[in-house]
Amino acid sequence: MTQPPQSHTPDKSTMIPENISKALNTLLEPGEKAQIVFQTEWKPSQGTPFVWIALTNSRVVVFSSRHGGMKFRALKFAEINAVQSEDAGRSVRILHWDTDTPDLHFPVAKTVEPQTVTDFVSHANARLAPQPKSATSQQNSK
């Protein structure tokens, strides 16, 4: 039996179902560790289970348990401009640096504690790369 990732919620540990843990483990890169994992209310298609979001030590992974682990998006922290909680912690928005790439927006499952979403947003934003400097600001800093 695999040990599922745990939430960083300070007052309790949230266990995720074993099939979700196994699916996520197939998608992690060597040395990568899941830190906060929670379910969304988004289903990309009728035949796909609800999608989950995982914050790891190197990226944000959006995945489902379909086919033993299906990755919908995996964003390195350098690709993310900001992570936001909306609707009092009932949805998450992930903003890209690349304006040609649509932002990700997911309603959060009703079973997810608002503190888990707060922790996710806080931990994700703490790992983001600083905003790239424009040529003008680089010249002004000389």
Residue 43 lies in a domain: yes
Q: Give the per-residue pLDDT at 45.
A: 81
Q: Which residues constitute the domain of residue 74?
A: 18-129
Residue 94, domain member (yes or no) = yes
Answer yes or no: is pLDDT of 141 > 60. no
Does residue 102 form part of some domain?
yes
Number of independent structural domains in the chain:
1
Portion of the chain with pLDDT greater than 70, in percent: 80
How does the average pLDDT of the chain come out, rounded?
Answer: 83
Return all residues near 50 (Cβ < 8 A) that are at least 6 apart: 39, 40, 41, 42, 43, 64, 109
Q: Answer whether residue 7 is part of any domain.
A: no
CA nearest 53: which of 118, 99, 117, 113?
117
Q: Report the chain's C-alpha Rg in angstroms.
A: 16
Residue 98 lies in a domain: yes
Residue 94 has pLDDT above 80, yes or no: yes
Q: How far apart are the C-alpha atoms of 43 and 25, rounded to whole Å?
A: 20
Is 132 exposed, middle or buried (CB count within 10 Å of its CB: 0-12, 13-18, 19+)? exposed
71 residue type, one letter: K
pLDDT band at residue 129 using 50, 70 and 90 as cut-offs: low
Q: Report yes or no on 77 lying in a domain.
A: yes
2 domain-assigned: no
Write the CA distances from 137 to 79, 96, 122, 131, 132, integer angstroms: 21, 21, 27, 12, 10
**Chain segment 29-86, per-residue pLDDT in tens:** 999 999 999 999 998 888 878 899 999 999 999 999 888 788 899 999 999 999 999 9
Strand partners for 104 = 94
Q: Is residue 32 part of a domain?
A: yes
CATH of the domain at 22: 2.30.29.200
